[in-house]
Amino acid sequence: MIDVRNPADGFTSLRARIHALGDPGPNGCGADSAPLTVGEWALLIDDIVAHPESNTEPLWNVADPEDDDREFDAIFIGGGAAGRFGSAALRARGGRQLTIDAWPFLGGSCPHQACVPHHLFSEVARELDLARHMQERLWYPPFDEKRASILDVIELFKAGRGYPHAIMNWQSKEQLDMEYILNARATLIDARTVEVAGQRFTARNLVLCTGAHTVFPEIAGIGLKGVYDYSSLIEELDYEPNRCVIIGGSKVAMEYGSFFHATGCKTTILTRSPLMRTASLHHVDEGLRDYVIAMMADRGIEIVQDAEPVEVLGNGKVTGIRYRTADGHEHQIDTDFVFVGTGERPNLDMYAPLGLATDERGFVIADTHMRTNVPGVYAAGDLVGPPMEMFKARKCGVGAARNIMGEDYEFDYTQYPDFLHTTYEVTWCGLSEAEARNRYRNVIKIQMPPDDADPENFALPAAEGSMIYAFTRPILSGWLKLVIDADTRKILGAHHVGYGAKDAFQYIDYLIRRPEGFTMDEMAELNELFLNPEHFIQLCRLRAGQAMPVNL
Amino acid sequence: MIDVRNPADGFTSLRARIHALGDPGPNGCGADSAPLTVGEWALLIDDIVAHPESNTEPLWNVADPEDDDREFDAIFIGGGAAGRFGSAALRARGGRQLTIDAWPFLGGSCPHQACVPHHLFSEVARELDLARHMQERLWYPPFDEKRASILDVIELFKAGRGYPHAIMNWQSKEQLDMEYILNARATLIDARTVEVAGQRFTARNLVLCTGAHTVFPEIAGIGLKGVYDYSSLIEELDYEPNRCVIIGGSKVAMEYGSFFHATGCKTTILTRSPLMRTASLHHVDEGLRDYVIAMMADRGIEIVQDAEPVEVLGNGKVTGIRYRTADGHEHQIDTDFVFVGTGERPNLDMYAPLGLATDERGFVIADTHMRTNVPGVYAAGDLVGPPMEMFKARKCGVGAARNIMGEDYEFDYTQYPDFLHTTYEVTWCGLSEAEARNRYRNVIKIQMPPDDADPENFALPAAEGSMIYAFTRPILSGWLKLVIDADTRKILGAHHVGYGAKDAFQYIDYLIRRPEGFTMDEMAELNELFLNPEHFIQLCRLRAGQAMPVNL
């Protein structure tokens, strides 16, 4: 094992070994016995990820029994969003935790293969969209459709992912005082006992945080080289795709599809349900959806609804895909790249000894305390089903920790603000206009552009990130809507497509969900930071004076 | 006069005249008597702005006395942010208002010459910064330092500013039911009477909203061609500058300087006080300031403190500038472009008959009800002094309207969230860390990167708009700090440099200013939208469990 608590120890000290790998940066030259720096962690993790076969020793950050012989309050299996935040919360409350992960880093799939690269890809998509749109205007050169490379962007990500990993290992140890064993698979012995790296650990509780994986559709050819999901895309893609077909209509399908297409790789999305009308996305406003889909189509992305993939064609490598449309006809697209953006299923294999209760899709059933059917065993994160989002994973983990530490803490994740990317940031919270009209008798909206405007010349919204669009082709600059109950004047829902508003929705969601709600009059009193991307504050102000406000 | 209430009237109808100017877009072909569309307004405004000499008739949107003979509750002189929002608020409360502006559009200088172009310029600066930083990586071509043109960006703005103008004229008339006379100078007769376009109007009150203008330093050569402020830059620049010297260290100096420099026009800022340490900016955190200044310097902007401009050199046209440093030495820079970013002073000339009381800098003294020393006369916006920000102008105007309509409404704009741009969005609210430590005994902070990290490899913050930086040179990706009173656990201040967080600060500011405040524990309970640019929610969560939280 590699004892990361004592970097100066060993025949060749850990620190000497790391420094032989490269330059850890200016903060990497502290005293021999000082904790590993972020730069040193990055070198170590990158080396293990690049050469797993010669790096099978676990990374060991557990107190010696001589120094600390307290029982563990919980062992967290999996150190991703749920496991890491849960561990931090338990530790912060004075408990003792042990976190185990098969990867040599904490943070899980998000920074390694999932949400972090997705955000890089979405930013790249946005920049490519702007560069293509603006070509030969201002300083923008002609856009070379062959220049952007999916592979290059993935390589950029992989070259850099060691640092976020390193930050999490460093922060968890130095700032959050967690104990963990990484680069080691746990084996479950029973509901209180885990074996890892040849040692057994017992704890008062277990928290299961092992996440989920893509379910590939069971069609012929799905195993061919050239078929990827978000995970294998990062680890295995080794050629530059020319043409992309996406199976599935999830957020992932829309996000990765927008990225592939923006790089110049013509993309078709084959989806059973209409995009953004799936059960997994709640409160989607039809006006927002219309704008998002129209803008994807405006970029040339092909979206085929009611499409059923039949077979991936190829001979060792993908050459095409056959699919069936609602009318029963079969169609074929020649393509060298198939991306699967369908649903996910939980990683449960190791839990067989527990007899966990699962739902009809296979997700672990956990109550609002994150308790499973097995006493002392909690589940958190993607394991318990959608939404497969960071806030849910983290707060599930924290919820489990708080209950383990004696609080009575419930976490209801059935209502939340939501988002996705295309080349835009798409964000919403609260009720859609249609939902509001179903529940309230007197609903008004504030919308930009208004329904009766010509969006090609209605130069709003304009704000951080949409100014160049607003001044070159206004319809590209975004769309927003605020849904209000005119009787109580409370804001019921907020919806935005554009840039720069996503962060605000965390707070808008909080404000409108307070028991007392948040009225348009209160919104109107805020001090806006012009040009605020969602324009809600000033648009409310323009209507707030009215006894009975009407649409704007 | 041009009667915009009746576009089908006149020898050549207004509508026919507009359609002769160009294509107003698909919504511009309604019934002859239908109100002007946004597209039609844009054509009309652009024509008047381009040919003021042949367009001297006022744009008339006042009800016929036969249709409405009510007294005006207020006349708003100036239809910018203060006048337009004030008018809308007064009208919404059932009052009758008349708004007069010398320009042919409502909205004032902001969309014509000031904050809107500044936002376009700042977005351009950010995109140029990214293009230069990323050159020859990914799809980015070599960056051609000669390709970006200040003049081109200004031309893009001017070609498009008609639409925002048009939206405001259209919205104010069709959605907000305001009455106005544009393209006409008001003459003040007395505190209740205004003459415009040969007619006299009386009102119960006047609201003065005529804004401010740059004060040029009184040095030799300041009148040479080649010296500009934010206003003349838009209207008069007719060559491509090669080298820029900025006089002054205001927000405007930093924002425009960052833009000029990003285009490849080497920029020097001559400032008396250190940047961001002037009295006009409150609650600036030193850590935030250090990062902002370091990043300007990283881009190559030259900042000279304690610099006193002595003379602008030239012969008909600027060729250089002489300035004196604190040691008494004089220096010279050869330059073809001088930009004045010093303070502003109010536009008061027309108010001589009133005998308005002003402060030592010349700004109108108004109380928290927006009342001046003259009964029935209110003042709003830049006229009453800093902060020269949109929220203040708009809410001053609304405040005047609410008091005129019988409410007892006070507006205190001494505390507010603030922002500026460099190539970054820089946003803050509440107390700086130093201020907090002065007032509270037990202050902690949550900061990224932490003080002891190597920012060149600490790949956070990473989020919307900073992902590419985070994966290529982390130090460029931003900086954030949350200041917390560890005893009450209340958040005292929030500070951010990067992208995508500005909009959120409107709500964070509101939450932390509530009488009950906003604790880190409440923050930790929010549902974050990963990768949320300011990372505050999850960083609070990592500490929220602790009985006595410490720095993160």
**Best A155, A170, A457 residue to mutate vs chain B (most B CBs within 10 Å):** A457
The reported pLDDT for the residue numbered B273 is 93
**d(C-alpha A449, C-alpha A536), whole Å:** 13
Instruction: Identify the H or E element spanning A3.
Output: strand A2-3
Phi-psi region of B370 (alpha: psi -120 to 50; beta: other; left: phi over 0): left
Cα(B234)–Cα(B109) distance, rounded to whole angstroms?
Answer: 11
Say if residues A183 and A58 touch (Cβ distance below 8 Å).
Answer: yes
Query: Above 60 in pLDDT, residue A29?
Result: no
ipTM of model: 0.96
> C-alpha A244: how far from its chain's center?
22
**Residue carrying the six token digits 């490598």:** A317
Q: Say whether the peptide bond before residue A346 is cis (omega within 30 degrees of 0).
A: no
How close B327 comes to chain A (CA, Å)?
36
Question: Alpha-carbon distance B316 to B226, whole Å?
Answer: 9
Asked if B454 lies within 8 A of A504 by C-beta distance, the reply is no
What does the alpha-carbon distance between residue A108 and residue A111 come to, in Å, rounded to a whole number?
A: 7
CA–CA dist B2, B14 (Å, integer): 7
Q: How far, in Å, CA of A159 to CA of A65, rounded?
A: 38
User: Of B59, B84, B68, whose CA–CA distance to B7 is shortest?
Assistant: B59
**Confidence category of residue A12, pLDDT binned at 50, 70, 90:** confident
What are B80's strand-pairing partners?
B107
- What distance lies between CA A406 and its chain's CA centroid? 30
B192 vs B98, B200, B202, CA distance in Å? Answer: 12, 10, 5
> Minimal Cα–Cα distance from B52 to chain A, Å?
23
Percentage of residues in chain A with pLDDT exceeding 90? 91
Task: Give me the helix-helix angle, A162-170 and A38-50, nearest 10°.
Answer: 120
pLDDT at A178 over 80: yes
Distance CA B411, CA A510 (A): 26
Tokens of A459: 């130069």
Q: How confident is the model at residue A548 (pLDDT cuts 50, 70, 90)?
A: confident
Q: Would you call A460 and B164 a contact, using CB atoms and an 8 Å cutoff?
A: yes
Higher pLDDT, A414 or A25: A414
| DSSP label at residue B535 | -
**Model pTM score:** 0.97
Supply the pLDDT for residue A552: 73
| pLDDT attached to residue A543 | 85
For position B28, what pLDDT does the model report?
52
Sign of the C-alpha dihedral computed for residues B118, B122, B124 and B128 taken in this order? positive
Among left, alpha and beta (phi > 0; psi -120 to 50; other), residue B245 is: beta
**Secondary structure E strands in B62-134:** 74-77, 97-100
Residue A431's region, left for phi above 0, alpha for psi from -120 to 50, else beta, is beta
Angle at A61 between CA A59 and CA A63, to 5 degrees: 145
Burial of A197 from C-beta contacts in 10 A (0-12 / 13-18 / 19+): middle
Give the pLDDT confidence score for residue B11 in this predicted structure.
Answer: 79
A-B CB pairs within 8 A amount to 329
Please state, in angstroms and rounded to a whole number, the distance separating the CA atoms of residues A38 and A24.
8
Q: Do B427 and B501 touch, CB atoms closer than 8 A?
A: yes
List C-alpha distances in Å: B341 to B256, B356, B385. 8, 27, 16
| Cβ pair A26:B152 closer than 8 A | no
In this structure, is the dihedral angle defined by the CA atoms of residues B155, B160, B166 and B172, taken in order, positive or negative?
A: negative
Report residue A96's pLDDT band, with 50, 70 and 90 as the boundaries: very high
DSSP structure string for A227-288? EE-HHHHHHH--S--SEEEEE--SHHHHHHHHHHHHTT-EEEEE-SSPTT-STTS-S--HHH
Determine the distance in angstroms separating the CA of A160 from the nearest CA of chain B, rounded to an integer. 5
Q: Give A32's Cβ-side CA count (13 Å radius).
A: 8
Residue positions counted in chain A:
552
Contact list, A530 vs chain B (CB under 8 Å): 110, 115, 389-391
In total, chain B counts a number of residues equal to 552
Spans of chain B below 70 pLDDT: 27-30
| Strand A479-485 to A443-448 pairing | antiparallel
Q: What is the pLDDT of residue A458?
A: 85
Torsion on CA atoms B74, B80, B81, B84, rounded to nearest 10: 40
| B518 among known catalytic residues | no
Q: Record the tokens describing residue B219, joined without a space.
A: 């040095």
pLDDT of the residue at B543: 85
Is A530 noted as a catalytic residue in this protein?
yes
Question: Catalytic: which of A14, A36, A44, A115?
Answer: A115
Question: B134 is written with which tokens?
Answer: 């990323």
Query: For residue A80, what are the contacts with CB-CB under 8 A and spacing of at least 6?
Result: A101, A106, A107, A108, A109, A110, A209, A211, A381, A393
B165 is catalytic: yes
Count of other CB atoms within 10 angstroms of residue B293? 17
Residues of B in contact with A509 (CB under 8 A): 526-527
Cα distances (angstroms) measured from residue A330 to each of A311, A327, B112, B226, B396: 10, 9, 56, 68, 65
pLDDT grade, residue A454 (50/70/90)?
confident
Residue with tokens 């209605």: A458
Minimal Cα–Cα distance from B301 to chain A, Å? 20
- CB-CB under 8 Å, B37 with A454: yes
Q: Which of A106, A130, A480, A539 is catalytic?
A: A106
Contact A382, A208 (CB under 8 A): no
Task: Name residue A549's amino acid.
Answer: P
**For residue B505, what is the nearest residue in chain A, using CA coordinates?**
A504
The residues with which B312 forms a beta bridge, in sequence order, are B321
**What residues contact residue B295 under an 8 Å CB cut-off, 6+ apart?**
B422, B423, B424, B476, B497
List Cβ neighbours of B232 (8 Å cut-off, separation of 6 or more).
none
Helix extents (H) in A351-452: 390-404, 433-439
Catalytic: A244? no
For residue B212, give both structure tokens.
Answer: 């401010």
Q: Is the dihedral of CA A217, A222, A226, A232 positive or negative?
A: positive
For an interface test with A, the pick among B464, B512, B541 (most A C-beta atoms closer than 10 Å) comes out as: B464
Active site residue A115: yes
Tally Cβ neighbours within 10 Å of residue B146: 10
> What was the pLDDT predicted at B30?
59
Locate A491 and state its tokens. 């804001």
Eight-state DSSP code of residue A441? S
The mean pLDDT value for A330-354 works out to 95
Arithmetic mean of pLDDT, A333-352: 95
Please list the residues that pair with A268 across neighbouring strands: A245, A302
SS3 state at A507 = helix
Q: Is B506 within 8 Å of A526 when comparing Cβ atoms?
A: yes
Query: Which helix (H) or strand (E) segment is B33 a member of?
Result: none
User: How, if at all, do strands B266-270 and B243-247 pair?
Assistant: parallel
Minimum distance, in Å, between the CA of residue A327 and any CA atom of chain B: 36
Choose among A71, A67, A48: nearest CA to A58.
Answer: A48
Indicate the pairing of strand A243-247 with strand A266-270. Answer: parallel
> What is the rounded CA–CA span in Å between residue A266 and residue A244?
6
Please tell me the distance from the alpha carbon of residue B54 to that of residue B73, in angstroms, as a whole number.
Answer: 33
Which parts of A163-241 are beta strand (E)?
A: 180-182, 186-190, 193-196, 199-208, 212-214, 227-228
